């Protein structure tokens, strides 16, 4: 069984940002998952599970949140290219 997190927000918030309640709540889950992924705290698979979407879709939507899909240092990228 999954644990649940309840977050209180003003009833008027979804309307204020031109979203339905469902759209706002999905977007909030995605934003939280994207940030935790960006910080390296969770994997893309876990983040996708939190967002409630398939992993590939999660990875493709990261750009909407300004989060890179792959975050390699220059040295890591160089090593990967040399080993390709």
The 10s digit of each residue's pLDDT in 51-77 is 999 999 999 999 999 999 887 777 877
In a domain, 11, yes or no: no
In a domain, 12, yes or no: no
In a domain, 37, yes or no: yes
pLDDT of 12-59, one tens digit each?
A: 999 999 999 999 999 999 999 999 999 999 999 999 999 999 999 999
Single out the residue of 61, 64, 41 nearest to residue 51, CA to CA. 61
Cβ neighbours of residue 68 under 8 Å, at least 6 residues apart?
38, 62
**Domain count for the chain:** 1
In a domain, 34, yes or no: yes
Range of the domain at 63: 18-83
In a domain, 6, yes or no: no
28 half-sphere exposure, CB direction, 13 A CA radius: 15
> What pTM did the predictor assign?
0.82
In a domain, 9, yes or no: no
In a domain, 3, yes or no: no
Alpha-helix runs per DSSP H in the chain: 13-16, 21-38, 44-51, 55-61, 74-83
- Check residue 6 and report its DSSP letter: -
């Amino acid at each position: 069984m999954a644990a649940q997190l309840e977050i209180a927000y003003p009833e008027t918030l979804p309307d204020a940002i031109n979203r339905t309640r469902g759209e706002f709540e999905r977007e909030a889950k995605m934003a939280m998952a994207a940030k935790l992924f960006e910080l390296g705290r969770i994997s893309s698979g876990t983040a996708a599970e939190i967002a409630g979407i398939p992993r590939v879709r999660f990875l493709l939507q990261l750009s909407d949140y300004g989060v890179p899909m792959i975050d390699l240092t220059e040295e890591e990228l160089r090593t990967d290219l040399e080993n390709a």
